[in-house]
Amino acid sequence: MVAYRVETVRVLAIFFNVLLCLSGLGMIGLAVYALAATHITFSGRTWIPVFMMVMGTLVFLISFLGCYGALLEKRYALMAYAGMVTFLVAIQLAVALYAVMHQLTVEIGLDAAWQNAYDRHPKLIRDIQDEYGCCGFKSPTDRAFPKSSPDACLKSDLFGHHRSCFTMLQAGYQTEFRAIIVGEFILIAIQAASLLFTTMLYKQVGTPEHRAATDGERQALLEDERVARGLPIEG
């Protein structure tokens, strides 16, 4: 009964570690996609996907330690894994909450980035207007490209868009931000499940009951092998 319980926990620990490994790769892919998005890089919040990429890489690597400890029932590996995952979960929770609290300042960040681009890199404004089919920041005449006159973009044959770029940039940023935050909390949930079963396995492996069950299973295997060879069973 003890061996069956330990085996069940071990299988669950391995399952969640494999799932954690795949989730880490998925988080890395999501972070790379977010870094390539114009609204993320333009907003100056690239530290969020960069952080997610680092966390995804660490989780991916640490999950191998968890699989090793669960497969071979190594207590030292299970203990090291539990400590690392606990540390990572604490960091991810703190950063995720910080990012959610400061999400309301995205408008200020976008406005400052737009003003900087308008003053120093007007071609960037043109590229954004081309990509999103818009003119200006909060209105078609608000710091738009070309800079010859406030309504140059609105009246231009090349542009002539009647919607501002702010709404498009903000919507794109919020969509990517929500995807990253949801992905982060899913990753945290998987880490918590993996940590739970790994801790349970750590507590059961090496106990007198587990050793007795293991010794009994080993003795049964030896007896089966002796019977298969036609040798007498030691009494």
Render pLDDT for 205-232 as a digit per residue (tens, 0 to 9): 765 555 554 544 444 444 555 556 665 5
Confidence (pTM): 0.73
**pLDDT per residue as tens digits for the range 54-73:** 999 999 999 999 999 988 88
> Are the C-beta atoms of residues 76 and 206 closer than 8 Å to each other?
no
Helical residues (DSSP H) of the chain, grouped into ranges: 2-35, 38-43, 47-72, 75-101, 106-120, 122-132, 152-155, 166-204, 208-228
Q: Where are the alpha helices (DSSP H) in 73-165?
A: 75-101, 106-120, 122-132, 152-155
| Sign of the alpha-carbon torsion through 98, 101, 107, 112 | negative
- Taking the CB of residue 232, how many other CB atoms lie within 10 A of it? 7
For residue 183, give the nearest of 33, 63, 40, 27 by alpha carbon. Answer: 27
pLDDT in tens, 157-203: 666 678 888 888 888 888 878 888 888 889 999 999 999 999 988 88
Identify the pLDDT of residue 90: 94
Q: What is the distance between the alpha carbons of residues 19 and 24, in angstroms, rounded to a whole number?
A: 9
